[in-house]
Amino acid sequence: MHLSDVVEASGAVRATTSRKKKISAIADLLGRAEPEELAQVVAWVSGELPQGRIGTGWRTLTAVQVPPASEPTLSVGAVDGAFTELAGVAGSGSTARRKELLGSLFAAATAAEHEFLIRLLGGEMRQGALTAIVAEAVAVAFDVPIDLVRRAHMLSGRLPVSALAAREGGAEALARFRLEVGRPIQPMLASPGTALDEAMAEFGGQVSVEHKMDGARIQVHRDGDEVHIFTRTLREITSSVPELVDLVRAMDCTSVVLDGETLALDDSGRPRPFQETMSRFGAASAQELLLHPYFFDCLHLNGDDLLDVPLRERREALTKVAGGLAIPALLAPDAEAAAEYFDGALASGHEGIMIKALDAPYAAGRRGRAWQKIKPTHTLDLVVLGAEWGYGRRTGYLSNLHLGARDPDGGDPIMVGKTFKGLTDALLQWQTAEFPRHERQRDEHTVYLRPQLVVEIAIDGVQVSPRYPGGVALRFARVVRYRPDKEPAQADTIDAIRDLLPAGAAADAAVVSDDASRGGVLGDGGVLGDGGGPAER
């Protein structure tokens, strides 16, 4: 298969907003790939590289100036080989060598292939083919149930591996995937809850009520004395958190997989700021700041996989193996006890509480109603699309943020609001230094970014609005913090934001969204909570 085949399919995906057509285009491409090419093609249309990071930042890519080839000749295998060679470049002279390799690759690529390679290597595959859609395309291409593809993907952590299994062995091969101790799986995710009483009522009170901690998600694997610790994005951090490794090794078990949070505590036992916890994850070794784990789920214990058993049984296993490291929880409490627990969580410095259905299995990689986070105010994880230059005391700083929600169908993030509220002087300085590294383009007033940064935004609500293409706008949005532990693919979706609208208004927002997408974003007048404009001037 030639690279041009992948580029052509990518172009077809980018040209349509139809989920069905996206899936069909990718499925046709996957069906034509040879077995030895399939993993690479699946990774590329998912916007990923099998080699991981290969040292080709945006500035490196744009510095390569070579004329394009007139005819497509590059094969998938040749391009993958070039990526592998780039990944191995290190040491003295690596910058020049990397530029030389990129120059050779781009000289053999057509103009369309140039564009594709730059977006792929630059981490900006804005073609609407996110992993969820590629997974559905795998199911169509190889005539296997989508649920089996999703489960195999979540258990393997690698969609290309699942795709190859589907091609070679069909449904039977996919069904053989199991949780493997030492190999991270996609974590189960929570949805924003509207109110404590509503969440309790939804499950008839059969819930676990737990503290929602302002920590960093971790997944712990132990097999004998071998321990691995992974972040939310499945990045291994074992070497930088030896105190957590020691705690896990001390547990009375032979093998275990735990899901939880870790955070740094001050001398009084209250949680330190999230950024202090995250600072440990980038360290090469232990620092003076020690982390404390709070485990809230047990996915495997002593040879038994527990993903499919109800939470009440997983909770028993958790308490047995983790003891005092298990996060405290109220099981099936009455409304009064749950409300008191909520107040206590806030008083202890936590974000709020989690409501989890006791009868639900662990849905790896899925965001559903079985887990709901209840906070005093709604918070959303959104993608930063750009920032406007400030006025007054903020002159010279990138200030007013453009905020986007994730498109569940894999398209570009959908703008839902702006804000400059909540930005401290330190954040203004950080944004102004950091944002140009992610710059896509700029004009006189705004620096537009590639969708790579996630920010947590507190809001007082959502309203139907024709101003933005999603048909909704945020009310009184303000910055809480940046989320270096999250990737844009883990941001909240436009559907999740519409779910926060008053009853019956979601359909109105969808209609407004359709109108906006046909006629462009309407106006640029203010909505409640938007930053910039006259308010900032």
Catalytic machinery residues: 212
Strand 352-357's sheet: what is its strand order?
189-192, 367-374, 352-357, 207-212, 329-331
Q: Which helix (H) or strand (E) holds 111?
A: helix 111-121
Which of these, 189, 188, 190, lies nearest to 372 by C-alpha position? 190
Strand-strand pairing, 226-231 and 216-223: antiparallel
Q: Which residues of 378-400 are buried (b: 16+ CB within 10 A; e: fewer)?
A: bbbbbbbbbbbbbbeebeebbbb
Return the closest-CA partner of residue 477 out of 378, 375, 374: 378
How far apart are alpha carbons 184 and 500 in whole angstroms? 32
| Length reported for the chain | 537
Pairing state between β 216-223 and 255-264: antiparallel
Contacts 24+ apart (CB under 8 A), 31-34: 31/141, 31/142, 32/1, 32/5, 33/1, 33/76, 34/1
Is residue 188 a contact partner of residue 366, using CB atoms and an 8 Å limit? Answer: yes
d(CA 66, CA 105) in angstroms, rounded, equals 10
